Homo-oligomer: A and B are copies of this chain.
């Protein structure tokens, strides 16, 4: 098992899978980064998955309770913008989180149609537990980088994100805008 037979498994870094190689490709595929992103994200979310299983939750629940915990008072509409899913999909997991006491709702004071969402202590504990796991991995990865390297990672990730039509949460993250700025 795991018996190796790397038949024709070749192809080092920068060669396209056979074809157009004319003058000067302005964007030769970054195969390395593309694949590293796949593996890194796979293992990154994998950390949380195991814990979530014990709670009978999935990734969808994690995302919801995470953002509610981090941005208290988020409305349902806000959450839909952030997660980019439909209200029906959200409703399923949100209902469970409400029923099991990880999140509570409160009517908005200026607009009482809105349901402002807040994580309970129970919800915050779960979120922190998961964030702690993921943070360990991040710290491990940043440990061997100089301060400038860690800074570059942050800049890179920020620059990977779509800028057009940023939702409230994304604006906060990208511009570090304190809540008040947009009120």
Contact B132 A9 (CB under 8 A): no
Cβ contacts A to B, 28 pairs, < 8 Å: A4-B182, A6-B180, A6-B182, A7-B73, A11-B72, A16-B128, A17-B69, A19-B124, A29-B128, A29-B131, A29-B132, A29-B135, A30-B135, A31-B70, A32-B154, A33-B154, A36-B157, A37-B41, A37-B44, A38-B63, A39-B161, A40-B161, A41-B41, A145-B155, A148-B149, A148-B152, A149-B152, A152-B153
Task: Give A72 Cβ to nearest chain B Cβ, in Å.
Answer: 5
A56 at the A/B interface (Cβ < 8 Å)?
A: no
Q: What string of 1s and 0s marks CB contacts (under 8 Å) between A1-44 and chain B?
A: 01011111111110011110000000111111111111111111
Number of identical protomers: 2
Would you call A5 and B111 a contact (CB within 8 A)?
yes
A interface size (C-beta, 8 A) = 97
